[in-house]
Amino acid sequence: MSKRNKVLVGVGGAVLLVGIILVSASAKRERGAEVRFAKVGRRDLVAAVTSSGKIQPKKKVDISPDIQGRITQIAVHEGDYVTKGQFLLQIDPTIYQSEVQRAQAALATAEALALQARANRDQAQRALGRTKELHAQNPNLVSQEQLEQAQTAFDIAEANLNSATHQVDQSRAAVESSRQNLAKSHIVAPMSGRVTRLAVEEGEVAVPGTFSKEVGLLMTIADLSVIQVKVNVDETDVVRVHLADSVEVTIDAFPDTTFTGRVTKISNSAILTAGASTAPGTNTQAVDYEVEITLTNPPGDVRPDLSATARIITDTRKQALSIPIIALTVRENTPVSTETRGGPPIVRRDTSAPSKKKETEGVFVVQNGKATFRPVKVGIAGDEYFEVLDGLRQDETIVAGPYQAIRDLHDGAAVKASRQPADTGRGKKPS
């Protein structure tokens, strides 16, 4: 075979191969993209907000010392149940007993001085009376100067008595203060409950926590008859949470049991948590709100600070028209312009003028093997389905997956049913 014939054969083979590829691609396009179909139907929907938190008793008391001293006796153990007024802990009372004795001695001294001042006042009062009487009988017997001196002596004695009386009051208050400090060395339970934390040992020094409650903490008593779950709910979800909403609670320590409860408190102030930086020199903060959930029937052996997850039921729908979450997608609207030019209106998409991008939520409705984008208005979101408020009718066929196929699908594209396993797209955002 000549060289020219070989070249012609090679070129012919290449053309044939390209033709086969083009025919195959054209046939594939005609067959359409493989997608999953779903019918618009009616289902029971439950909208919920899920958040994690900790188990906490409704009422607890952190016991801290009001005085400083060495702990000489601890009468309870962690986990013990105590009643109100029960003895818990003893701080060395020696110093405070001495203070009481010192204050009592000071009080006795002050009372003696007050008694002496009273006697001096009485004597000055009698002297002033005699002087006034003599002066009234005969002014020549007592001069005006002597009368003034007697009056001054009485005034001084009266002032000394007042001072001594106030000193007695001050000493009596010191005695009462020292007695109170002595009483504070004997710590009793302020409420009935269980000792959930014992932070000290005998022999340690109890120090009042002036600036930090944790520094001076002795023990914690909690009333475990009412158990709550405290969770932090994001600002975008808290507006959907209301008082008395029903809640399903799972506790990590009880993995096979679900407990029920009710929302009993929603905080009005946010809990700001520092987040990651989005740009140089800037920080974002996660804004959460604390929500308290009271358990209806808590487990008997529950403990504070156990990890829990709360599923707050915010809304329900019975037999609502619904679509799979994965089916909902978004598409941009392109501005259009109308031209007449002396004839019928001509609608053109204006791609040259800058405009704000506006996105519309919708689904792809399947008719005669073609997928047509249709705007849809949705309501609450369940675990796997959106409620449909407007835009669809029952039993219409829509594209329901896979996620990547819906994302790449364009209006009017040919589609065909796929045999891949169903995917509801739970948790996916509209593409």
pLDDT digits (tens, 9 = 90+) for 242-287: 999 999 999 999 988 999 999 999 999 998 765 544 455 555 678 9
- Reduce the secondary structure of 278-290 to three states and give it as a string: CECCECCEEEEEE
Structural domain boundaries enclosing 273: 223-316
Q: Are residues 360 and 230 in the same domain?
A: no
418 pLDDT higher than 60: yes
Does residue 6 fall inside a structural domain? Answer: no
**Boundary of a domain, candidates 271, 300, 316:** 316
Per DSSP, the three-state class of 232 is strand
Q: Are residues 174 and 232 in the same domain?
A: no
Does residue 199 fall inside a structural domain? Answer: yes
Q: Are residues 411 and 336 in the same domain?
A: yes
CA nearest 239: which of 266, 265, 263? 266
288 pLDDT higher than 90: yes
Does residue 424 fall inside a structural domain? Answer: no
Q: What is the pLDDT confidence band of residue 393, given thresholds at 50, 70 and 90? A: very high
pLDDT digits (tens, 9 = 90+) for 294-312: 999 898 888 899 999 999 9
Q: Are residues 258 and 324 in the same domain?
A: no
Q: Are residues 265 and 341 in the same domain?
A: no
Distance (Å, whole) CA 331 – CA 372: 12
Q: Over pLDDT 90: what percentage of the chain?
A: 64
Q: Are residues 291 and 396 in the same domain?
A: no
Domain count, the chain: 4
pLDDT of residue 278: 45
Does residue 336 fall inside a structural domain? Answer: yes
76 pLDDT higher than 90: yes
| Whole-number average pLDDT of the chain | 84
Q: Are residues 156 and 273 in the same domain?
A: no
**Boundary of a domain, candidates 316, 331, 355:** 316
338 pLDDT higher than 80: no
111 pLDDT higher than 50: yes
Q: Which two tokens stand for residue 410?
A: 């364009």
pLDDT digits (tens, 9 = 90+) for 115-156: 999 999 999 999 999 998 888 888 888 888 888 999 999 999
Which range is least confidently modeled, 136-150, 201-215, 291-305, 338-352?
A: 338-352
pLDDT digits (tens, 9 = 90+) for 170-199: 999 999 999 999 999 999 999 999 999 999
DSSP string, 87-112: EEEEE--HHHHHHHHHHHHHHHHHHH
Does residue 333 fall inside a structural domain? Answer: yes
Q: The domain that contains 333 carries what CATH number?
A: 2.40.420.20
CB 60 within 8 A of CB 227: no
Q: Are residues 355 and 298 in the same domain?
A: no
CB 203 within 8 A of CB 89: no
Q: Are residues 177 and 282 in the same domain?
A: no
Q: Scan for tokens 């008719």, then name that residue.
A: 367
Distance (Å, whole) CA 402 – CA 423: 7
pLDDT of residue 329: 93
Distance (Å, whole) CA 127 – CA 120: 11
Q: What is the pLDDT confidence band of residue 28, given thresholds at 50, 70 and 90? A: very low
pLDDT of residue 60: 92
Q: Are residues 340 and 374 in the same domain?
A: yes
Q: Scan for tokens 């396993």, then name that residue.
A: 421
**For the whole model, what pTM was predicted?**
0.66
Which range is least confidently modeled, 20-24, 142-146, 149-153, 202-206?
A: 20-24
Q: Are residues 84 and 208 in the same domain?
A: yes
Q: Scan for tokens 């944790």, then name that residue.
A: 214
Q: Which helix (H) or strand (E) holds 82?
A: strand 81-82
Q: The domain that contains 74 carries what CATH number?
A: 2.40.50.100
